[in-house]
Amino acid sequence: MSYFSNIFYGIKTLLTGMRVTGKYFLNSRKGAITQQYPDNRGILKMFDRFRGEVIMPHDENNEHACTGCQKCEIACPNGTIEIIWDRGLDEATGKKKKKIDQFVYHLSLCTMCGLCIDVCPTDAIEWGQNFENSVYDRTALTRVLNKPDSKIRPGVED
């Protein structure tokens, strides 16, 4: 009698499906995944693995972790990163040492592949959460990531 068992199986599975969607319907008030973007700009938090742009975090002493090794510049497939470097006197040892002058980042060339961040030996650069990158002039997309007068954090070696 597979005819009747077919009917009952059909009805049962349909009701199971309706129970699932019904549960979603009742919980939609609490769990809506829609972001009402321009309105919630203040509280909108992007997820951890979001690839917005490359940033170089600085600590409170205006120090970063970039040694100027240029591994990121070599890893970058499309020339997004340009490091202008110099040699300066290291205060601790008194020897001449490579240091960055300007870490230039062309956001308009970047494909967010993340190779530079993977390759960085000192974790000097990482992903930023900012996604509002529209500008009126494309020169605004070329950024210097190290802040003015910043220097390398003492003890960071690659």
Contacts with other proteins by CB under 8 A lie at: 7, 14, 17-18, 20-22, 24-25, 27-28, 31-34, 36
Closest CB to other proteins among residues 44, 135 = 44
**Beta bridge mates, 85:** 100
Residue 73 bridge partners (DSSP): none
User: Number of C-alpha atoms within 13 angstroms, CB side, residue 121?
Assistant: 9
CB of 44 to other proteins, least distance (A): 15
- Of residues 25 and 57, the one with the C-beta less far from other proteins: 25
Least distance in angstroms from the C-beta of 13 to other proteins: 10
The owner of tokens 């002039």 is: 137
Distance between CA atoms of 117 and 75, rounded to whole angstroms? 9
- What is the smallest separation between the CB atom of 50 and other proteins, expressed in angstroms? 20
